[in-house]
Amino acid sequence: MSTPGSAPEPGETPLSIALQTSDSAAVAFALRQEPVTVPLVSNDDADLVRVFRAPGADTNALLLFSSHQTYVWMLPDETDHRSTDFTPEQLTDYLRTHLDELDVVWFDVAGPFPMQADPVDLLRALTL
């Protein structure tokens, strides 16, 4: 594990380092600077952003990951871990378009340093 300001270890990303600090400002800065991994699902020959709903829950969660590998770790029994990297602009556009459909955003939900954010607050942080 790197410390903020030190060189990242292999496989670490600015987002994964920011999550280690549990610092929302550092997470927002990382998201404004680097792409973030977004899970996809196929629908009628098109890949769409995969939104998750916990069993029995009424909330829609957008799960974002610091890398494709952290997404795979969350669902090890799945065989199709389709994902893409969203630039900061793509993430901002997605949030603007789907803000009313999202209740929460989780980062590296199965990782050692998960964090959550309100979609409105995240959009505000991305558009500073």
Using one digit for the tens of pLDDT, what is the confidence trace for 32-52? 999 999 999 988 888 999 999
Instruction: For residue 112, tell me if it sits in a domain.
Output: yes
Domain enclosing residue 46, as ranges: 35-126
Instruction: Report if residue 52 sits inside a domain.
Output: yes
Looking at the structure of the chain, the number of domains it has is 1
Classify residue 21: in a domain, yes or no: no
Asked whether residue 79 is domain-assigned, the answer is: yes
CB 32 within 8 A of CB 89: no
Residue 63 falls inside a structural domain: yes
Give yes or no for residue 18 having a pLDDT over 80. Answer: yes
The secondary element (H helix, E strand) that includes residue 101 is none
Whether residue 65 lies inside any domain: the answer is: yes
The 10s digit of each residue's pLDDT in 82-110 is 999 999 999 999 999 999 999 999 999 98
Q: How many CA atoms lie within 13 A of 33 on its CB side?
A: 11
Looking up residue 76, the CATH number of its domain turns out to be 3.40.1350.90
- Which residues lie closer than 8 Å to 1 by C-beta, 6 or more apart? 9, 20
Share of the chain above pLDDT 70, in %: 91
Query: Whole-structure pTM over 0.85, yes or no?
Result: yes
